[in-house]
Amino acid sequence: MAAKIVIVGSFNMDLTAYAERMPKPGETLPGRKFVTGPGGKGSNQAVAAARLGADVTFIGRVGNDVFAEAALSFWKQEGIHTDFVARDPENATGVAPIWVDDSGENSIIVVLGANLHMTAADIDRATDVIAAADVVITQLEINYDMVDYAMKVAKTRGVRTILNPAPAGKLPRETVALADYLTPNETELEILSGISGDYEKAARSLLTREGQAAVVTIGAGGAQWVSPTTSTIIPAFKVTAVDTTGAGDAFNGGFAVALGEGKPLEEAIRFANATAALSVTKPGTAPSMPRRAEVEALLKG
């Protein structure tokens, strides 16, 4: 039976322009190429989970514009349920204009738009779906009050929660305490904890109750699982990386699916590591999310 995953999160349309170099203030340059593509941490994680075979519901906000139509069309194509995606009449769909020069350097301006205007009513409409979920996952590209509220709704109904604290930001300890699993990378862990260098100490400082764990993603080093009493590193899979963008989202999608299917924690992290490893072997974010058969093949070696 497919794992039921609910993702409360963001959608941003990536608008990428490629040019020889970055323009100076006031300068206009000719570009080499322009590409649009679906992005946003919540949406990327939803795609990852859906491609791994989960039954995925997305809760979020988009505007009344062409980017919203593109998002809804994309999610339908990926088999993601969008009954609880609200259309915001006043705020535009989130966008991320990206400039990339010939050396590969990039500059990004993220305008979160409708993502920041999610309301408690948006989440309340999905209460029954949340209650029936195996895992609820959220990130920090929506307003922080709704991160807290979504996890409270899930916890009062006995549903496991994953908080991916990305992009990095400071959160109240009460919000962090609602997460059964925290999944920061090294930078996010340092910002959340205020402790640098010692991942185990930093992660443990965030844990406030029994049954809580932090899973720190450390790139090519894999992931470090930290509980109040133990710490274990689950190694990464060796692959040739083409584009590491979206690897964290792939990890979180894979982790949620594996937990939802009842896999033990170490096995779930290994599954997530495999999902992330495969995602970096292809360009792009959402388009690079692997299918279930690819992940199973990598796990079998």
Q: Which residues are catalytic?
A: 249
**What strand order describes the sheet that includes 55-62?**
81-87, 55-62, 4-8, 135-138, 160-163, 181-182, 213-217, 223-226, 231-234
Q: Is 202 helix (H, G, I), strand (E, B) or coil?
A: helix
Phi-psi region of 115 (alpha: psi -120 to 50; beta: other; left: phi over 0): alpha
Longest dimension (CA), the chain: 57
Cα–Cα nearest to 7, from 116, 119, 161: 161
Q: How far apart are CA 210 and CA 230, in angstroms?
A: 12
d(CA 300, CA 55): 24
Exposure string for 255-267, b = 16+ CB within 10 A, e = fewer: bbbbbbbebebee
CA angle 5, 190, 241 (to 5 degrees): 65
